[in-house]
Amino acid sequence: MKRTKREKAMSMMRRSGMSQLDTFKAMLIAQKEAKKMEMEATEKAFLYMLAIPLNVLVADGIINHENASEYIRSVMSLYESVEKGAVTDDELAALLHEYSGVTIEADWLEKKYPEDKDAVTIVG
């Protein structure tokens, strides 16, 4: 029977002399830290998703400061549609491909695009 990572870690801690209670406490702390790191990464990704494109659009004069808040509202609206399931990841990938020629290759995307010598491919 194959052991899980958690079981292996607990076994290693016990072999190093930690009591079962201390091992359990250490695992709980590790889980909390992992969750915290995951949340921070998600928050940073959200910040980057909004701020980087907005900065480029304003800096390049594509939109002005007055239109920036409308752009953010539009992005948030599309994001909420994705969260609700009204727009799928495959549909977003298709829009990205259609508008920019950028292709995202990831196991969690179903749609695969034909090879395009001019396209930018991002493997995730």
> How much is the pLDDT for 118?
61
pLDDT above 70: residue 77: yes
Spatial separation of the C-alpha atoms in residues 96 and 94, rounded to whole Å = 5
Segments of the chain assigned E as strands: 102-105, 120-123
pLDDT of 102-114, one tens digit each? Answer: 888 888 888 776 6
Quick one: average pLDDT of 18-37? 86
pLDDT at residue 117, as a whole number: 60
Whole-structure pTM value: 0.63
Cβ proximity of 71 and 54 under 8 Å: yes
Distance of CA 104 to the CA centre of its chain: 13
CA distances from 72 to 38, 48, 62, 83, 116 (A): 24, 12, 14, 16, 31
Cα 86-56-123 angle, rounded to 5 deg: 60
Q: Look at residue 58 in the predicted model and tell me its pLDDT.
A: 94
